Amino acid sequence: MNKLSKRIGLLTALLSIFWATGCNDFLDESDPSNFTVENYFTQPAHGRSSVNAIYAPLRDPLGSGFGGGPWMMTEFATGLAATDLGQAVNSYFIKDLRNTSDNGYGQTYWTSYYRGIANANLSIAKVPTIPAIDPVEVKKLLGEAYFLRAWYYYNLVRMFGNIPLVTEPINLQSEQLRPSQANPEEVYNLIVADLKLAEESGLPWVDATGKVSLGAIKSLLSQVYLTMAGFPLQKGAAYYDLAAKKSAEVIDSKQFKLFASYNDFHDPSKKNIEENIFMIQFRTQLLPSSWQVSIIPYNKNISQYSDETGGIYSTGDFVKSYDPADLRAKEKQFFFTKFTNEANRNLEVDLGGYFIYKHFDITAQTSSANSDLNWPVIRYADLLLTYAEAANEVAGPSVKVLESVNAIRTRAQLPALAGLSKDALREVIWRERWYELCFENVTWFDMVRLRKAFNVSTKKFDNYVGHKFSYGPTLTERELYFPLPTSEMRNNTNLKQNAGY
């Protein structure tokens, strides 16, 4: 890579840095335009800032506006999401199962996550070479880098299937400049290896600043094992056992707990603690989240935001499939159907649909128009359900399995489960995953690993291929993956497009 290219690449990474080290530290840095890969990694502080840059691409898919938002991609693919935003064509292509390789949502995920992987590869290679850096700090920094590389690959391999596997920094002379695709098992092997290295890095169980923690590492590894037990690898019982044991480590640590109230989901003071094991970080006035404009109805005049896009909300059929007693489906818990008028808060507005309240920032929507909420990536509720599903597959219902799923049901004001067979409990746990983790970029991944889809009419699970969405379209084998972006296919002739695109 020539000197100019190196400077541009590192400048992009450095300008994207924002983390717990704070804005002031960043502003005190020397002029980033003077940095190249060779002269940057020269002092201990460069290790921290290079790892900070790995986090930045996590935020990219969450950008939202009148063009929709890439984070919606896996939500519309479930058949449980609706939209009133006619100009967001990428949403409709996925929602109506007419997706193409030109979809900008997939392009954002691919580009952003491979940028995160490139930043991770650079840190993994260069941080240990920094003069005078503390070896203990090196180990912790690499733990963060390995976790983040694993997380990016875990999402990419599930979205796109056969993907390039790049593990070293790339320059213009690299053989991997236009890499071939690896099979999914190779990618999963790297993910597991990275997470095992991260486990041994000495990171704390909890990090309230939002950086990678041991709790996040073990939780992600349990989810990876659960996925490997199912499709496409189908490793079965041994990996269900690994998932159960790893998630049990998190439960037994007693470092995390369910929130007492769903209101805590949109309380900025609860970021990165208790139920929130790992989150994508935002900060009001400095780097506010932008998805607020997409979860409110189209031009109903309820918000301080000037853009009310109606970008995504739940289908009524899904919300109505909840048990009538389920607190999660009641007004202003997970969803909302009415809100006060922006100009007169004594006037209530009927919104005409079931909008997403679990991500709703009350302060931003009613006063500041500047959100301080993080995006949840791993919640303790997800971890409990991961344990319950995996342990049930290994040995059937047990006291601990029932305790895990019943903790979530109790919060939802539903009766505790008892006396169920292994097969009956399996589907109950799946339903709890659909109901608890909806609109958190989890459900479609569950559909693909299980090859199952929730039928909102029967409240049973159909086979994925052949499942008909409540509004008409039918899933085919093509929809098990998203298409590789057109621009990537054009620039790298070693890539082969997924079947059906």
- List pLDDT tens digits, range 456-480: 999 999 999 999 999 999 999 999 9
Mean pLDDT, to the nearest integer, of 224-240?
98
* 172 confidence band (pLDDT: 50, 70, 90): confident
Q: For residue 11, what pLDDT is reported?
A: 38
Q: Taking 80 as the threshold, does the pLDDT of residue 188 lie above it?
A: yes
Mean pLDDT, to the nearest integer, of 147-171?
97
Lowest mean pLDDT: which of 30-39, 197-206, 285-294, 424-433? 30-39
* 148 confidence band (pLDDT: 50, 70, 90): very high
Mean pLDDT, to the nearest integer, of 160-177?
90
Higher-confidence residue of 51 and 171: namely 51
CA 15 – CA 141 distance, rounded (Å) = 19
Other beta carbons within 10 angstroms of residue 117's beta carbon come to 23
Closest CA to 277 of 196, 315, 222: 222
Higher-confidence residue of 1 and 282: namely 282
Closest CA to 280 of 13, 19, 16: 19
Q: For residue 176, what pLDDT is reported?
A: 78
CA 342 – CA 12 distance, rounded (Å) = 39
Q: For residue 39, what pLDDT is reported?
A: 80
* 2 confidence band (pLDDT: 50, 70, 90): very low
Mean pLDDT, to the nearest integer, of 402-424?
98
Q: For residue 164, what pLDDT is reported?
A: 97
Domain ranges of the chain: 282-373
CA 427 – CA 461 distance, rounded (Å) = 8
* 36 confidence band (pLDDT: 50, 70, 90): confident
Q: Taking 70 as the threshold, does the pLDDT of residue 312 lie above it?
A: yes
Q: Are 377 and 279 in contact (CB under 8 A)?
A: yes
Other beta carbons within 10 angstroms of residue 467's beta carbon come to 20
Mean pLDDT, to the nearest integer, of 27-41?
57
- Residue 43, CB-side half-sphere exposure with 13 Å CA sphere: 4
CA 224 – CA 319 distance, rounded (Å) = 29
What type of residue sits at position 76?
F
Q: For residue 30, what pLDDT is reported?
A: 38
Mean pLDDT, to the nearest integer, of 92-117?
98
Mean pLDDT, to the nearest integer, of 412-422?
98
Q: Taking 90 as the threshold, does the pLDDT of residue 33 lie above it?
A: no
CA 300 – CA 337 distance, rounded (Å) = 12
**Beta strand residue intervals within 157-260, DSSP E:** 163-164, 181-182
Mean pLDDT, to the nearest integer, of 217-228?
99
Q: For residue 269, what pLDDT is reported?
A: 96
Structure tokens, 410: 């109790």
Q: Taking 70 as the threshold, does the pLDDT of residue 20 lie above it?
A: no
Q: Are 382 and 408 in contact (CB under 8 A)?
A: no
Q: Taking 50 as the threshold, does the pLDDT of residue 7 lie above it?
A: no
* 194 confidence band (pLDDT: 50, 70, 90): very high
Q: For residue 35, what pLDDT is reported?
A: 57
Mean pLDDT, to the nearest integer, of 222-249?
98
Which value, to the nearest 10 degrees, does the dihedral of the CA atoms of residues 448, 454, 455, 458 take? 140
Q: Taking 60 as the threshold, does the pLDDT of residue 70 lie above it?
A: yes
* 114 confidence band (pLDDT: 50, 70, 90): very high
Q: For residue 235, what pLDDT is reported?
A: 98
* 23 confidence band (pLDDT: 50, 70, 90): very low
Q: What is the pLDDT of residues 337-371, one digit of tens each?
A: 999 999 999 999 999 999 999 999 999 999 999 99
pTM assigned to the model: 0.94
User: For 41-183, where are the alpha helices, taking DSSP H only?
Assistant: 44-55, 73-76, 89-95, 104-126, 135-160
Lowest mean pLDDT: which of 5-9, 271-275, 294-298? 5-9
Helix (H) or strand (E) holding 355: strand 348-356
